[in-house]
Homo-oligomer: A and B are copies of this chain.
Amino acid sequence: MAYVTRQYQAVLQCVEGRDEAAFTAAELAEDLRQAGCPVGLATVYRQLDKLESSGLVHKVPTEEGALYQRCPHPAGGQDCFLLRCEHCGRIVHLDCEQMEALCRHLADAHHFRIDPRRTVLTGRCQTCMNQEDAYGTP
């Protein structure tokens, strides 16, 4: 049975109080410390794992470690896809009928069921594309 601990409440509140931006476990731990509710890093990782399981946050693995981000959908538990700009690191939610149609097609024609929780569409956002046009593609 799950216990409701001070640390659980602190992490939940801190995540919900955030704007829609990605953060690392270490950053969240630092925020909690500054808010006067210090939570051990190991526990932060554990709580974030739980919040991910319940669909309240997304976990986005990157080369430099995992990023977490509050799921903007009301109740959580939604299956939504993420777009991640590999240049500026921004992560946005994708609500797109055509994406869902593709999933149905992959299931029907390719016998493959995509798991939105594990899939991150990575590329470039418009801002970064424009920057590259200006500076010459790096």
Contacts and interface: CB of A to CB of B under 8 A. Distances in A.
Tell me the interface secondary structure of chain A in the complex: mixed
A117 to B, nearest CB: 9
Contacts of A110: 83, 94, 96
A62 to B, nearest CB: 8
A111 B127 CA distance: 9
Contacts of A99: 102
A31 B83 CA distance: 37
- Integer count of this chain's copies in the complex: 2
A113 B124 contact: yes
Contacts of A94: 106, 110
Contacts of A125: 111-112
A123 B112 contact: yes
A114 B122 contact: yes
Contacts of A121: 106, 112, 114, 119
Interface in A104-134: 105-106, 109-115, 118-126, 129
Q: Which 10 A-B pairs have the closest CB atoms?
A: A111-B126, A118-B122, A114-B123, A115-B123, A113-B123, A113-B124, A102-B102, A119-B122, A98-B105, A83-B112
